[in-house]
Amino acid sequence: MKIVLKFPQKVMQDPLLADVVLETGVRINIDRALVDATIGEIVIDVPDERVEEVAEAFRRRGTEVREMDMPVVLDEAECVQCGACVSVCPVEVFTYNKDRSISIDFTRCVLCKTCITMCPHGAIKTAEE
Ligand code: SF4
Ligand code: SF4
């Protein structure tokens, strides 16, 4: 399962990922990272059976943790099947079907939010909105 980690500035200099890997022994795959002097947001992929253990280890270190069951939401009433999201998604979440409908595999999403920016009808939002 993918989870989103948000690091507050006070722990930005700490090697949190390395510490959690050493503590849990879980191999963590980094899908996306946005880190600078003011913000740290990372999407990681963790084996389903170890998610709670890893999430708790990050929370103990002052990290905000959110599981990505449904990272983005599609409003089908607003979608005009233009296909823009299919083109821009870097991990092929969207598939354009022969009948012009859009199929979605949100388990692949890394929350880059490109589809949200590019959708001309505002049909895609993050699950938090
Ligand atoms: S970009 Fe928006 S309107 Fe176009 S197919 Fe995707 S969700 Fe629908
Ligand atoms: S947020 Fe990024 S990875 Fe997720 S569906 Fe949109 S374009 Fe694809």
115 lines ligand 2 (CB under 6 A): yes
Q: Global pTM? A: 0.76
Pick from 96, 114, 117, 113: which is nearest to 105 by CA? 96
Regarding predicted confidence, which is higher, 39 or 67? 67
Angle CA 100–114–125, to nearest 5: 75
Tell the residue nearest (CA) to atom 8 of ligand 2. 89
Task: Please state, in angstroms and rounded to a whole number, the distance separating the CA atoms of residues 94 and 8.
Answer: 32
80 lines ligand 1 (CB under 6 A): yes
Task: Please state, in angstroms and rounded to a whole number, the distance separating the CA atoms of residues 18 and 36.
Answer: 18
Domains of the chain, residue spans: 2-67, 72-126
CATH number among 1.10.3470.10, 3.30.750.24, 3.30.1360.70, 3.30.70.20, domain 72-126: 3.30.70.20
Q: In the CATH hierarchy, which top-level class contains the domain 2-67?
A: alpha beta
pLDDT at 107 over 90: no
pLDDT at 37 over 70: yes
Residue 129: pLDDT band (50, 70, 90) is low
